[in-house]
Structure 1
């Protein structure tokens, strides 16, 4: 059995992705999970603290998958990048192409909440740092042209992915995701 806190986080992750932060009500979360109000406030100070914890959990899951892909040395570096985005795309598919939680919350909250803006920006930067490891390796192996700033390329890759994730959410389709990854990786050569 999952702990009370874990059940709240799992339900909150799904509800935040489906409804956004502004529409997420604590009462609806508690009704969904069957958890009493006092238990919520035992684990979280307020709705913002809860959502920031959900973001941390989401990012930890992304990092686990990304780190496994980055460390999969049996694959060439650009194939590891493609594999990561393929796995992310599979999670989007299982969610009905609702896109990226970070992108959705970033669009909704970055102008209203400095803690959310900083947290989400740091999330994207940490993903780019990990992707840059593969891009550095690909550059050393001659798979991408020399003289490019691989950290800057990784940041751009995350930016492009987030735009494609938004489009996949709008279309409820993976085609924008596929096209972005194909185009981006081909443009590195």
Structure 2
């Protein structure tokens, strides 16, 4: 069955944004790659910005789906659920050719020039952080981490650490930075490191 036009555009746009960024994304090159007429693009999207924001929504929706699936797996302890999520992320980075995180790349490129993108990407990171907070609160309630741990701070710190490690993974074309970050983070939180004030 033929993929719907809008979905074809979004999938191609995701790859192009990951590889080249927003500034280098040309609507015509997107149309050439997908074989979609210009009128069809503007039927689904107001302009290039609207298109990119839709791609971000689709991307973060997929991240939420995988994260929620991992964090809901009650067969694993909370910290093991977090580790499972990052194992899946690491595999996805490998499959994508180590292009890293779309939100991190676009955030670096656009946060200083577009308030719309800055707010959208910050919301994306915060929404992921809140899910981590809930999982870490459960770990604390179970006694898996010391009572001194602040799940709110540590959940959002994990997202910050993830983005730095994603950038290093992209630079090195290797997921080791991501997994090394996770090992360090989990050992630190188990030891009671409180995170930044």
CA RMSD, aligned part only? 0.6
Pairwise CA distance, 1:148: 2.1
Could you tell me how far 1:178 is from its partner in structure 2? 1.0
Cα shift at 1:134: 1.2
Matched residue count: 189
* Residues 1:37 and 2:38 aligned together: yes
Runs of 4 or more consecutive aligned structure 1 residues displaced over 4 Å after TM superposition: none
Shift of 1:33: 0.1
Residues in 1 aligned to 2:132 and 2:174: alpha-carbon distance in whole angstroms: 24
**Mapped pair 1:185 → 2:186:** yes
Which residue number corresponds to residue 81 of structure 1? 82
Q: Give distance in 2, aligned partners of 1:171 and 1:64.
A: 27
Q: Which residue of 2 aligns with 1:6?
A: 7
Q: How does 1:1-189 map to 2 (within 5 A)?
A: 1-189=2-190
**Contact kept? 2:149, 2:189, Cα under 8 Å:** no
Deviation at 1:147, TM superposition (A): 2.6
**1:115 positional shift:** 0.7
C-alpha displacement at 1:55, in angstroms? 0.2
TM-score by length of 2: 0.95
Correspondence for 2:195: none
User: What's the CA shift string for 1:75-115, capped at 9, x where partnerless?
Assistant: 00000000001111111110011100000000000001001
**Is there any run of 5+ residues in structure 2 with no aligned partner, and where?**
191-197
Q: Give the TM-score taking structure 1 as reference length.
A: 0.99
